[in-house]
Amino acid sequence: MSGTSGPSAFEERTRRCQRRLGEVGADAAVLFPSTNLFYASGFREEPGERHLLLFVPREGSPAFVAPEMYDEQIRDASWVEDIRLWADGEDPTELVAELADEMDLRGGHLLVDDTMWALFTQDLRETLPEATFGLASEVFEDLRMRKDETELDALRRAGALADRVSVEIRELGEEAVGMTETELAEEIEGLLAEAGGEEVAFGTIAGSGPNGAKPHHRHGDREIRRGDPVVLDFGAYLDGYPGDQTRTVVFAGDPPEGYQQVHETVREAQQAAVEAVEPGVPAEQIDRAAREVIEDAGYGDEFVHRTGHGVGLDVHESPYIVEGNQTELEPGMVFSVEPGVYLEGEFGVRIEDLVVVTDEGCERLNDSPRTWESL
């Protein structure tokens, strides 16, 4: 991550984080293996039982407290040079106490990673009994909502990848009839991997017929029949950023009664919501734009979830596109627009694209056909 052309994107993000710490009156952020830790340091790891913490003080240089076995890995991935290592069998809280003294944090206000295990927050409390604690989202939520160019580039490519697989899967047509939802989901995941996806961004959804009416049904052993509407919601990570796209397709045969009208309604609602996106508009306004179309068509009670969610290093993050969220949209924010109508026992329809707010309006990150017919 070190280069000759000035600070890396990760280092710049850490500097912004430090400014925000000052603005909210906190003395440091203490991160744990998480998307926040990756965002600031460039180092990515799964949470584990060993103490692996990144201290980002309001001023000065950040420092890791890490197991010795991670020394080389952190050095390779991160711009952060100060790494305090402890070996299995040693007490890592001694390093934490030492660092707290150097950074003058003993009586400070520390923002801990929201997903830090209680094991470690408890430990911090015991090691630093005079400190007070808050959540790191207080600084990171705001920073991470506005994507930088590196992030937008990855999100665009993850969107294009989902689009490509969406087209390929719809070309199955008649071939999909008789496949189980699970077989179809495996096909989708295979194509995502072939196209260069790192891993699936969330459990792939292939909800056929009545299963499509359960918004978070994943997939099961139900066989796809002629005329079944199938909700296909999937994406894969590219450079750590996810794709998330939904189309509702009938692979072969005639759809059930009422389906075409519901599909048309959802498509119009999605279009209306996308057209409502521009800087300065509160997030809830996008939800209202979609909901109004669906309510006018008489399906208001069947649209049982918010219109969308922010997307970044986490597939679900701020801003949430939901009634009551008055966050004003700003250029660089990325979120899903995914209205749906769910008719219990019959079928569901959902159409989802990711969009990025631009100076004028928005750019869609997905552009595969939104029609329901097989391709």
Could you list the residues that contact Co ion (CB under 5 A)? 244, 336
Task: Tell me how far, at minimum, the Cβ of 214 lies from Co ion, in Å.
Answer: 15
Kind and range of the H or E element at 166? helix 149-170
**Which CB atom, from 244 or from 314, has the smaller least distance to Co ion?**
244
Task: Tell me how far, at minimum, the Cβ of 245 lies from Co ion, in Å.
Answer: 8
With contact defined as beta carbons under 8 Å apart, do 290 and 341 qualify? Answer: no
With contact defined as beta carbons under 8 Å apart, do 351 and 268 qualify? Answer: no
**Which CB atom, from 62 or from 340, has the smaller least distance to Co ion?**
340
> Measured between alpha carbons, how far apart are the two ends of the chain, in Å?
43
Name the 3-class secondary structure at 19.
helix
Task: Tell me how far, at minimum, the Cβ of 233 lies from Co ion, in Å.
Answer: 7
Who's near 248: CB < 8 A, 6+ residues apart? Answer: 212, 229, 230, 231, 232, 263, 266, 348, 349, 350, 351, 372
**Which CB atom, from 37 or from 337, has the smaller least distance to Co ion?**
337
Measured in degrees and rounded to the nearest 5, phi and psi for residue 357 equal: -70, 130
* 147 vs 280: CA distance, rounded Å: 17
| DSSP conformational letter for 5 | S
Measured in degrees and rounded to the nearest 5, phi and psi for residue 363 equal: -115, 130
CA nearest neighbour of 202 among 68, 316, 106 = 316
* 269 vs 93: CA distance, rounded Å: 54
**Which CB atom, from 52 or from 213, has the smaller least distance to Co ion?**
213
Task: Tell me how far, at minimum, the Cβ of 13 lies from Co ion, in Å.
Answer: 24
* 125 vs 102: CA distance, rounded Å: 18
**Which CB atom, from 51 or from 309, has the smaller least distance to Co ion?**
309
**Which CB atom, from 211 or from 336, has the smaller least distance to Co ion?**
336
**Which CB atom, from 113 or from 244, has the smaller least distance to Co ion?**
244
Who's near 306: CB < 8 A, 6+ residues apart? Answer: 287, 320, 321, 322, 323
Q: Tell me the residue length of the chain.
A: 375
211 CB neighbour count, 10 Å cutoff: 20
Structure tokens at 136: 């790191």
**Which CB atom, from 14 or from 336, has the smaller least distance to Co ion?**
336
Task: Tell me how far, at minimum, the Cβ of 338 lies from Co ion, in Å.
Answer: 5
Q: Which amino acid is at 73?
A: Q
**Which CB atom, from 128 or from 266, has the smaller least distance to Co ion?**
266
Task: Tell me how far, at minimum, the Cβ of 231 lies from Co ion, in Å.
Answer: 12
CA nearest neighbour of 375 among 242, 247, 202 = 247
Task: Tell me how far, at minimum, the Cβ of 206 lies from Co ion, in Å.
Answer: 15
Task: Tell me how far, at minimum, the Cβ of 279 lies from Co ion, in Å.
Answer: 22
Task: Tell me how far, at minimum, the Cβ of 274 lies from Co ion, in Å.
Answer: 14
**Which CB atom, from 27 or from 244, has the smaller least distance to Co ion?**
244
* 310 vs 308: CA distance, rounded Å: 7
Task: Tell me how far, at minimum, the Cβ of 336 lies from Co ion, in Å.
Answer: 4
